[in-house]
Structure 1
Amino acid sequence: MMMRRSTLLTGCTALVLALGATACGGGEPVAAGGGDKSLDGRTVTVAGVWSGSEQENFQKVLDAFTAKTGAKTEFVSTGDNVSTVVGSKIEGGDAPDVVMVPQVGVLRQFAEAGWLQPLGADVEKNVDAGFAKVWKEYGSVDGTLYGLYFKAAHKSTVWYDPESLAQAGVEAPATWEEMLTAGHTVSDSGLTAFAVAGQDGWTLTDWFENVYLSQAGPEKYDALAAHELKWTDPSVVKALTTLGTLFKDKQLIAGGQKGALNTDFPGSVEKVFGPEPEAGMVYEGDFVAGVAKDQYQRTIGEDADFFPFPAVDGGPAPVVSGGDAAVVLKDGKQREAGLALVEYLATPEAAEVWAGAGGFLSPNKQVDPGAYADDVTRATAKSLVAAGDTVRFDMSDQAPAAFGGTKGTGEWKILQDFLRDPSDPKATAAALEQAAAKAYKG
């Protein structure tokens, strides 16, 4: 559905929204950056999936916005089903002003439903200056920018206990084959190589995406993500075959396939960094560090570290990312103040507030690396930014939720079945294609 470009960001409104600009008619300046409290009396409602420490840290960013503009903020945690919660609030006449959307597919769904306000020239200028082009593309629908990617995840990191690898005489591998060889060496030393969180199907999609991006390349990755390439393509079968070499090797997976299928994501981190370790390594995003630090008192960079997801079959090392995009709803009661908030989120200053608190990466290349709380997070952030336009967004998050984001069905369920029995990659590819065709058609 083609979206009609709004005219709200013209004339006086554009000036009101420009951080540091002077309001029309000789009034008081409206400036998040200038700290003139010109949005006093406004309350911006922000909805997002975050809770716990993530919500607390984001609140620090919102408080910084309040200190500059005078606009109060109210955060509403939606849980994982953002689209359902936001849809019901819109229908009930209680739409939030800003939503932090965690999936490209959901952002597109909101835009195609006509729910979103274009972010306008001021935000677009900040995005062009600070972000790789790919982040603008993921935030746009039909060439119009609707989403500002404020928080990113680096989902191409393998986390490990340095002592376990050192005792086995293993160094960080650079290739897939080296990683499997290193895994066997770790297992031979008495500790299983990998904890795999097979109970959570989303972790298995991340395994596949990293292998596929490195092995097949970004063009095919994009085509598969858009379902312009069928899942029965030989490149998919090849990636599944490669992944199957790990899944079928009981020496490499803590508890074997059955154990993996009974391990959720927090449990996989516990198996490496908990009080009774069962494995030396766990693959997942940079957010592993937060669990290791907060739950098991590991010091990041000392007794918890990472190496980049290794290159596969001579391809480049992959950089798969995820992220949360700030969007503004047309039906929000404080749409203009909401747009001002998003413009503030596009600045390095806003990102640096959360960077100092930890558990955060920004795709904004203008963020000072010194703002991050530790060297490992700093290195992860630099890797994400350095990848530039070669970064690819989590493929399952780009897909319709029925295929890429629903427990017990679609890609999650099919890859769990593949973990249980990886003997027939062609059959798995066929099942994935059948489910994708139905979901994309719907």
Structure 2
Amino acid sequence: MPTSRRAFLGASAVLLATGCSGTADVLGLRRPVRIAVSWSGQELRAFHSVLDGLGRLDYPVEVVPLGDDISTAFGPRSARRPDLVMLPQPGLVPPHQKDLESMPDDLAERGRARLWDELLVVDGTTYGLPFKTAHKSAVWYRPSVLKKAGLEPPTQWSEWLAMNRALSDEGIRPLALAAGDGWVLTDFLENVLLSSSPSTYRALATAAHPRPSEQPGFAAALRLLGTMWSAPGALAGGVERSLVQQFPDAIVEVFGHRRAAMVLASDFAEPVVRSFAADPDDIGIFTFPPISPGAAPPVVVGGDVMVLPKPTSDDARDLVRRLAAPAAVDPWIAEGGFLADGVTSGYSPELTRLAQQLVAPGASLQFDLSDRLGRLGDINGLWRVLTDFLVRIGGRGSDVVPEAVDDALAELKKVES
């Protein structure tokens, strides 16, 4: 998952979390374990609270925030290369498997858990471990707005469209859309595609050379998405504001400025929501409703995984073991905005709902498609195509959607070739 969301509180300098101190460390006689992360701001501070909770270590730990440049951790080796990478794009693990050390045998099963095994296990060997799970089908909203309009959170796609129309009729903008972060647009499409055509989603996720433009189910998902984005009055600030609005801005639009009713935002939005909510009791969450009545709701999953670039060290392996301990992440869970793989308790009520859905039997779970599509799903691929699609249709009515879908597929075809 691309990571521009993580820069919303400003870039951070390289920070040093020292597990022990002494002459040997000061003189550089013991090399620190360098951790490359994409986090900044609150997330980076929360990770430092996790490191602090590990207690006294026999080696120093250096945290290097790389932001959107996290993939450079796999670049040419140098004396300053990271020993451990918190990778927000698990889809990079298989293509970079030769650059990675295998995980310790006693931890390998953690990488073979539900959803993760296809990304973290190559030829029977585990090359990554889940650290942080992201529920990317969550919609945060203000319950007071719906209550005032006599509405309930939608349980089907058609109800969501009807709710948006009803809010618009009341002069309330339903959606704040962070189109300035292209991954928000792909999250929207992925949820629609997973719900409307799970077989197409799965085929694209596992194809050696995926070609979305040739899949009827993908075109149908674009048309469905177009019905929401093209509805007059649906987007707070219209397309113009949406295009310059990044992930945290859209949250503030709903809970701070209160110019919109809801925002599609993962569990990691929780600290921002609570920081800007004018009323701490006016916070609600529903999950992306299914397209068809009776169908399982879609659950798109992302996350950050721990990987060890070659060559590794005993200290780096020791740190992985410590970070993989179930209680290690408790400090971050306490701060909010963190879901641990397989853990369903200890969260706020909103995140508890999301955590339980991740392990519920029968849930339609799939990993973030844009991550699995590689370059086709990134800023020069699906991000750009969906941004252009939004510009063509945003607030202009459903009549413009068919032609815009054709144009989007044509542009996507150029990227595929």
Bucket of the pairwise TM-score, normalised by the shorter protein: 0.7 to 0.9
Once the two structures are TM-superposed, the CA of residue 211 in structure 1 deviates from its matched residue by 0.3
Distance in 2, matches of 1:47 and 1:387, equals 35
Distance in 1, matches of 2:236 and 2:365, equals 30
Once the two structures are TM-superposed, the CA of residue 368 in structure 1 deviates from its matched residue by 6.1
Once the two structures are TM-superposed, the CA of residue 85 in structure 1 deviates from its matched residue by 4.6
Q: 1:259 to 1:51 in 2, by over 3 A?
A: closer
2:311 paired with 1:331:
yes
**8 Å contact kept, 2:111–2:130:** no
**8 Å contact kept, 2:157–2:292:** yes
Tell me the amino acid that sits aligned with residue 190 of structure 1.
G
Q: 1:387 to 1:154 in 2, by over 3 A?
A: farther
Distance in 2, matches of 1:103 and 1:388, equals 26
Cα deviation code 1:181-232 (max 9, x no counterpart): 1111122222111111222221111100000001101x42122124455312
Q: 1:214 to 1:419 in 2, by over 3 A?
A: same
Once the two structures are TM-superposed, the CA of residue 179 in structure 1 deviates from its matched residue by 0.5
Distance in 2, matches of 1:110 and 1:376, equals 36
Partner of 1:303 in structure 2? 282
Partner of 1:322 in structure 2? 302
Partner of 1:418 in structure 2? 389
Q: How does 1:84-123 map to 2 (within 5 A)?
A: 84-88=72-76, 90=77, 92-111=78-97, 114-123=98-107
**8 Å contact kept, 1:174–1:311:** yes
Tell me the amino acid that sits aligned with residue 345 of structure 2.
P
TM-score by length of 1: 0.79
Partner of 1:313 in structure 2? 292
Distance in 2, matches of 1:159 and 1:360, equals 15
Partner of 1:383 in structure 2? 357
Partner of 1:239 in structure 2? 221
Once the two structures are TM-superposed, the CA of residue 343 in structure 1 deviates from its matched residue by 2.5
Q: 1:244 to 1:123 in 2, by over 3 A?
A: same
Q: How does 1:47-86 map to 2 (within 5 A)?
A: 47-67=36-56, 69-86=57-74
Give secondary structure in 2 for the equivalent of 1:324: strand
Cα deviation code 1:359-399 (max 9, x no counterpart): 21111x2x3612x2x22122222222336884212111222
Tell me the amino acid that sits aligned with residue 380 of structure 1.
L
**8 Å contact kept, 2:190–2:300:** yes
Give secondary structure in 2 for the equivalent of 1:288: helix
Give secondary structure in 2 for the equivalent of 1:192: coil
Give secondary structure in 1 for the equivalent of 2:93: helix
Partner of 1:184 in structure 2? 165
1:43 aligns with one of 13, 32, 53: 32
Tell me the amino acid that sits aligned with residue 318 of structure 1.
P
Aligned length: 377
2:384 paired with 1:405:
no
**8 Å contact kept, 1:66–1:72:** no
Q: How does 1:346-361 map to 2 (within 5 A)?
A: 346-361=324-339
TM-score by length of 2: 0.84
Distance in 1, matches of 2:100 and 2:278, equals 42
**CA-atom RMSD, angstroms?**
2.3
Distance in 2, matches of 1:255 and 1:229, equals 35
Distance in 2, matches of 1:399 and 1:164, equals 37
**8 Å contact kept, 1:187–1:252:** yes
Distance in 1, matches of 2:117 and 2:322, equals 16
Partner of 2:370 in structure 1? 396
Cα deviation code 1:57-103 (max 9, x no counterpart): 11222223343x53432111112111225525x2x232211100110
Extract unaligned runs of 5+ from structure 1: 1-40
Give secondary structure in 2 for the equivalent of 1:354: helix
Cα deviation code 1:266-285 (max 9, x no counterpart): 221122111x3221111121
2:174 aligns with one of 180, 193, 199: 193
**8 Å contact kept, 1:352–1:368:** no
Q: 1:389 to 1:166 in 2, by over 3 A?
A: closer
Extract unaligned runs of 5+ from structure 2: 1-29, 394-400
* Identity between Structure 1 and Structure 2 (%): 37
